[in-house]
Structure 1
Amino acid sequence: MTTRWLTPEEQRAWRAYIAAAHLLEDALDRQLQQDAGMPHLYYSILANLSEVPERRLRMTDLAERTKITRSRLTYAVTRLEKDGLIRRENCKWDKRSSFAALTDEGMAVLERTAPGHVETVRHFLFDRLNEEQVGQLEEIFTAVARTLEEDEARVASDDVPWRRRSSSPCSSAE
């Protein structure tokens, strides 16, 4: 198979994307460390929990939503639990499964931190774009995400860490 090397234009676009993604993630981490003493990943965990009924998810579902390994999620949840922001709950029907639930204190931290987080996203991303560019950005990343999700669906579950499922009868709705 012949390698399809990037054109000079594609190479510039790729490198611009990589630089922007790393710099934006760093800016978000700095803001969240300053405002809440936590990295962006921890904020994302709290935000995901805040968006679901009863503010609780099965750990495997939370790993899939945040696209991180279960071991990394376990480490993060342990820290957030120690800080009183998340409570871990056992599954009544399967001792191997557990849930992460956002506490009232965790919700308060999220509500207190969200305005600064949104302002950081707005300042470093959306304030730099016009309305047409925002639409293009959405279109571009929707197409990229769709392709990646389709590819992920074809890959064996064991090859995608956040898709690994136990045979647990517990679900997030329980």
Structure 2
Amino acid sequence: MDKTWLDAGEQRVWRGFLRMNSSLYDELERDLRDRDGLTLTEYGILAHLSEMPDRRMRMRNLADTVIVSKSRLSHQIARLERDGYVRREPCSDDRRGFWAVLTEEGAAALREAAPGHAARVRSLVFDRLTPEQIDGLREIVDALGGAPDGAPDGASDR
């Protein structure tokens, strides 16, 4: 078998995966922006910060967690700071490092956005699948490394 190209079945699955991923992301992004004025990345930042002790996380760790470059994270944090949702605090043990800290306003914005976002995720994904398909999807996500490291069930799902 020639491994230079994907075979027809692999190509169909791969292209379907890319199309599905792009359309889900675009729909969730549009929905959040129109309803709550947040991008999907900004929502993810607020959600991850809300799950952390003291609602704070090192900027470099946050960039890895939400899967964005440090420069893109800095831009997103600046916008969230302008909106009063996040503040930056210097790290006492690293003069170059900063913490991103969720403010009360940010927590309130997340609480307001979460029900609509969760409902949209359910309608686009989980309501279309059987429980067995959801289990299969979980196995695929785990096998491909898409599950958050050490995240308990329910974490980062807001």
* TM-score normalised according to structure 2 size: 0.88
Matches within 5 A, 1:3-152: 3-145=3-145
Larger Rg: 1
Aligned-pair distance for 1:10?
Answer: 1.1
Instruction: Identify which of structures 1 and 2 has the higher relative contact order when contacts are C-alpha pairs closer than 8 Å and 6+ apart.
Output: 1
Aligned-pair distance for 1:93?
Answer: 2.8
Structure 1 residue matching 2:105: 3-state secondary structure: helix
Per-residue Cα deviation, 1:103-151 (whole angstroms, up to 9, x for no partner) = 00000000000001001100011111001100000001110117xx9xx
* Unaligned runs of at least 5 residues, structure 1: 150-174
The alignment yields a C-alpha RMSD, in angstroms, of: 1.4
Structure 1 residue matching 2:95: 3-state secondary structure: coil
In 1, Cα distance between equivalents of 2:124 and 2:99: 34
Amino acid aligned to 2:79: R
In 2, Cα distance between equivalents of 1:36 and 1:88: 22
Q: Which residue does the alignment assign to 2:155? A: none
Aligned-pair distance for 1:94?
Answer: 2.4
Q: Which residue does the alignment assign to 2:152? A: none
In 2, Cα distance between equivalents of 1:8 and 1:116: 38
Percentage of matched positions with identical amino acids: 44
* Unaligned runs of at least 5 residues, structure 2: 150-158
Say how many residue pairs are matched: 146
Range with bigger deviation, 92-101 or 76-85? 92-101
